[in-house]
Amino acid sequence: MWLYLVVLVVLYYLLRWYRERQVVSHLEDKFVFITGCDSGFGNLLARQLDQRGLRVLAACLTEQGAEQLRNQTSDRLQTVILDITQTENVTATTNWVKERVGDRGLWGLVNNAGICTPTAPNEWLTKQDFVKVLDVNLLGVIDVTLSLLSLVRKARGRVVNVSSVLGRVSLSPAGYCISKYGVEAFSDSLRRELSYFGVKVAMIEPGYFVTNMTQDEGFIGYLQALWNWASPELKELYGENFPADFLKTLSLLKPRWTQNLSLVTDCMEHALTACHPRTRYSAGWDAKFIYLPMSYLPSFLVDLIVYCYYPQPAKAL
């Protein structure tokens, strides 16, 4: 009985390995549009796909980021300045993409741009703090996707949305987790709708990686500013030591953070170039062996795990 089970498992993984090794033909003729290419995952993916021979259309937030990327890549790669929170900018960029892809359509759309601050206890924040994160991480993704969807459908191509392990289990307060849960829901519904047109939708769910978005300076600056603006009642409730304890909690995660961004971009590349891409890609050992299993645990167990490392307010019961 056990032997049959082992054989079935081995056959399953062999079949999956064989299917996932099959690569789409004529990659050199395919256009891929990537957001957030100034640094981090988007920058590395743009360079990686350019080396692979694809025609990369890289959207950067700043001209400096665009120039640096052009200096590191071939003449095939083209850049455009894009702020995904500005609908007029998204519309203009869509027209720019149409001019370049022509009748071939857009093979790949990678929604990579994102932010993670402000990060602080929910009670410290205002509605606008949540809106700031949602505008980029969720509404910006939706706006770009809807604008370019007809081009992707024409090519029977791929949509790759960068989510997070924090879109599976909420461990960080404020808008970041909310936005990533929204990306998961949007991707699921989009995948089912577009399957009728031969378009595949994949989600990338990285663990903790060191990028410009996760630098300590950003967390410290926002947290200190929020603490300075907090009311006397909140300061008394949480205690003067809470901000330092909160930062110490983040520092405990740092040994698990990795600088090997290719673990993420390799997943993105596979989603764009494989004949049979996965629906979800977990990147990083912490995503695979800690956060993903946690997402399947009962809520009371997840709460217990979070309580073990999250700092408590001074006036906690």
From the number of C-beta atoms within 10 Å of its C-beta (0-12, 13-18, 19+), residue 315 rates as exposed
> In this predicted model, which residue has the larger pLDDT, 15 or 55?
55
> In this predicted model, which residue has the larger pLDDT, 204 or 25?
204
Helix (H) or strand (E) run with residue 160 in it: strand 158-162
132 is a domain residue: yes
> In this predicted model, which residue has the larger pLDDT, 69 or 6?
69
Q: What per-residue confidence (pLDDT) applies to 45?
A: 97
**Buried/exposed code over 51-88 (b: 16+ C-beta within 10 A; e: otherwise):** eeebbbbbbbbeeebbebbbeebeeebbbbebbbbeee
State the chain's mean pLDDT as an integer: 88
Percent of the residues in the chain that have a pLDDT greater than 90, as a whole number: 59
Has residue 113 got a pLDDT over 80? yes
- Chain segment 203-223, per-residue pLDDT in tens: 999 988 877 765 555 566 667
Q: How far apart are CA 105 and CA 107, in angstroms?
A: 6
310 is a domain residue: no
**Buried/exposed code over 109-124 (b: 16+ C-beta within 10 A; e: otherwise):** bbbbbbbbbbbbbeeb
Has residue 306 got a pLDDT over 90? no
306 is a domain residue: no
- Average pLDDT score over residue span 58-78: 95
- Average pLDDT score over residue span 111-115: 94
178 is a domain residue: yes
- Average pLDDT score over residue span 31-55: 96
Quote the tokens at residue 82. Answer: 């894009």
Which of 170-179, 212-221, 229-238, 288-297 is predicted most confidently? Answer: 288-297
Q: For residue 160, give the nearest of 103, 115, 199, 211 by alpha carbon.
A: 199
- Average pLDDT score over residue span 42-55: 96
- Chain segment 132-191, per-residue pLDDT in tens: 999 999 999 999 999 999 999 999 999 999 999 989 988 776 788 999 999 999 999 999
Say which CATH number the domain at 167 has: 3.40.50.720
Q: Which amino acid is at 160?
A: V
Q: How far apart are CA 140 and CA 223, in angstroms?
A: 24
Cα radius of gyration (the chain): 21
- Average pLDDT score over residue span 276-289: 92
Q: What per-residue confidence (pLDDT) applies to 118?
A: 77
Q: What per-residue confidence (pLDDT) applies to 216?
A: 52
120 is a domain residue: yes
Percent of the residues in the chain that have a pLDDT greater than 70, as a whole number: 91
**Cβ atoms of residues 76 and 98 within 8 Å:** no
Q: How far apart are CA 38 and CA 72, in angstroms?
A: 12
Give me the active site residues, please: 176
Neighbour count for residue 7 (Cβ, 10 Å) = 10
> In this predicted model, which residue has the larger pLDDT, 317 or 264?
264
140 is a domain residue: yes
> In this predicted model, which residue has the larger pLDDT, 228 or 149?
149
Q: What per-residue confidence (pLDDT) applies to 196?
A: 96
pTM metric for this prediction:
0.90
Considering its fold, how many domains does the chain have in total? 1
139 is a domain residue: yes
Q: Which amino acid is at 151?
A: L
CA distances from 274 to 30, 178, 271 (A): 13, 30, 6
Give the SS3 label for residue 54.
coil
268 is a domain residue: yes
Q: Which domain holds residue 120?
A: 26-214+256-298
Label residue 253 by pLDDT band (50, 70, 90).
low
Residue with tokens 């991480």: 137
Q: What per-residue confidence (pLDDT) applies to 64?
A: 95
Q: What per-residue confidence (pLDDT) applies to 152?
A: 98
